[in-house]
Amino acid sequence: MQQLGRGLRLHDKKSHLTVLDFIAPQHRNFSFAKRFKALTSRPELRIDKQIDSDMPYLPAGCFLHLEKQAKEHVLQNIRSATANLRGERLLSELRQLCREIEGEISLQQIIDCLNLDSPDEIYRRGLPHQLLAEAEGKPQNAVELNDQLSKGFRRIALMDDTHLIEDARRLVTTGTSDSDFTQILLHSLLWGTNKPGEGTLYHAQRFITSHQGVARDLTELLDWLLKTRTPLQNKVFEQQTGPLNLHASYTREQITHALRLGSFESPISSREGILHVPGRKLDLFFADINKSEADFSPTTMYEDYAITDSLFHWQSQSQTSDSSAVGRRLIEHQAKGYTPILFIRDRKRLSNGLTSPYFFAGPLRYHKHEGSKPITIIWELEHTLPARALSWARRVG
């Protein structure tokens, strides 16, 4: 009360007093973000980051410091408000952004305005160019397969192969690419079972070039990925896995396309944990480190995990014996001229509900094995797992 009393003292140069109350429970629709934005001289920057840094852009001579508990309360309020942004509330935020910024609004500006870490929450609600048009009172006709595109944008936002991202941007902006694979690897993410036109790769690419708003949104997403992803070294095994880059992530469909299995119009269906590719003398392993009983039966809860950054524990299917053709091919792969290839992921589903892509761990060499039905094999990785993958691939406890 003493602080409030001091604040209420009259002064010729004091027009008003702003009181931030962290004591009483706030209404769930109360926006701390708007209040703090009114205090900063840089409202275009993410306000949650500014709050976390004790508001560095206050007017000269001003200082604001929140105790740890108060700061966490404010930041949680902002996170909750962002998660619940939809309908008219979302349009209201975008409307305010349109008033603050002259000219075209970028994807990064929308992300900062809504205090997001990624554009996934935006694509859940639609494509940026359509949302902005609706906020400005100029709604556009819904694009064909709009829901399919929104989900495709969410899948593309998971890409981390910076070489593929850069070439995909070149394809979208110029119509040409350095790699023959870029077009199919990009469009296999963008479209699901519903494809535009006659469902061919040509019609998929033509759809993008004929819809300027979609092309701009896609270009901006690829630009955002290039700015936020750590550049990968260009390490490919062209004779074995084509354009796939070591330690990048891909969907199973992208992987089969890279091996020229199936087509864009008719991709092959592959759900098993091992895919035999006799034409290339490959065995591809697809392993989930953390398996859910909802997704796997008791007979398929195989023990797959990293022992170290260079050794991987893997189990075959429960009916595979060490004397079977498959078992001998795996154990004696070097003598038979075969190369085992490992793809791993933490779990089947991501926290946002999307199917998780696979991390390309690279070629394997046989180290030792034991048992039968299933066979437990310890593989040696030709290239050690980076720390970012080892953190979830290694079994703890």
SS3 of 263, please? coil
Do residues 185 and 117 share a domain? no
The domain in which residue 292 lies consists of 271-393
Q: What is the pLDDT of residue 217?
A: 96
Q: Is there a domain that residue 242 lies in?
A: no
pLDDT at 67 (0 to 100)? 85
Evaluated on CA atoms 380, 381, 382, 384, the torsion sign reads: negative
User: Are both 286 and 218 inside the same structural domain?
Assistant: no
Q: Decide: 115 and 47 in contact? Cβ < 8 Å.
A: yes
Amino acid at 61: G
Report the DSSP pairing between strands 249-250 and 311-315: unpaired
Pairing of strands 282-288, 339-345: parallel
State how far the Cα of 280 lies from the Cα of 377, in Å rounded to an integer.
22
Question: Do residues 106 and 7 both lie within one domain?
Answer: yes
Verify that 12 and 114 share a domain, yes or no: yes
Domain presence at residue 207? yes
Considering the domain architecture, whether residues 129 and 150 belong to the same structural domain is answered as no
Tokens describing residue 149: 């595109």
Distance of CA 79 to the CA centre of its chain: 19
- The tokens describing 92, both together, are 């209201």
Among 90, 111, 135, the domain boundary falls at 135
Phi and psi torsions of 381, nearest 5° = -80, 135
Q: Rounded distance, CA 153 to CA 121, Å?
A: 11
Tokens of 320: 């595979």
pLDDT at residue 2, rounded to an integer = 66
Count: domains in the chain:
3
User: Residue 235 falls within a domain, yes or no?
Assistant: no
Cα dihedral across residues 4, 7, 9, 10: positive or negative: negative
For residues 200 and 111, membership in a common domain is answered with: no
Residue at 236 is within a domain? no
Q: For residues 154, 160, 164 and 166, what is the CA-based torsion angle, rounded to 10 degrees?
A: 90
User: In terms of C-beta density within 10 A (0-12 exposed, 13-18 middle, 19 or more buried), how is residue 332 classed?
Assistant: exposed
Measured CA to CA, the distance from residue 363 to residue 142 in angstroms comes to 45
Instruction: Compute, in degrees rounded to 10, the torsion defined by CA atoms 258, 261, 263, 266.
Output: -130
> Of the candidates 189, 199, 190, which has an alpha carbon nearest to the alpha carbon of residue 265?
199
Predicted confidence at residue 91, as pLDDT, reads 86
Rounded to 10 deg, the angle between the 162-174 and 212-228 helix axes is 160
Helices 162-174 and 182-190, axial angle in degrees (round to 10)? 90
Would you write out the chain's pLDDT as a tens digit for each of its 397 residues?
A: 667 788 888 888 888 888 776 666 666 667 787 788 788 888 767 888 888 888 898 888 888 888 888 888 888 877 777 666 667 778 888 888 888 888 889 999 999 888 888 899 899 889 999 999 988 888 766 667 788 999 999 999 999 999 999 999 999 999 999 999 999 999 999 998 889 999 999 999 999 999 999 999 999 999 999 999 999 999 999 999 999 999 999 999 999 999 999 999 999 988 889 999 999 999 999 999 998 766 555 555 678 999 999 999 999 998 999 999 999 999 999 999 999 999 999 999 998 899 999 999 999 999 999 999 999 999 999 999 999 999 999 976 5
Report the SS3 class of residue 349. strand
Do 183 and 308 fall within a single domain?
no
Q: How far, in Å, CA of 47 to CA of 250, rounded?
A: 34
Its pTM stands at: 0.82
Return the residue matching tokens 């701009």. 216
Q: Give the end-to-end CA distance of the chain in Å, rounded to a whole number.
A: 52
> d(Cα 187, Cα 254) in Å, to the nearest integer?
9
With respect to residue 254, please indicate whether it lies within any of the assigned structural domains. Answer: no
Same domain, 280 and 388: yes
Looking at the domain assignment, is residue 251 inside a domain? no
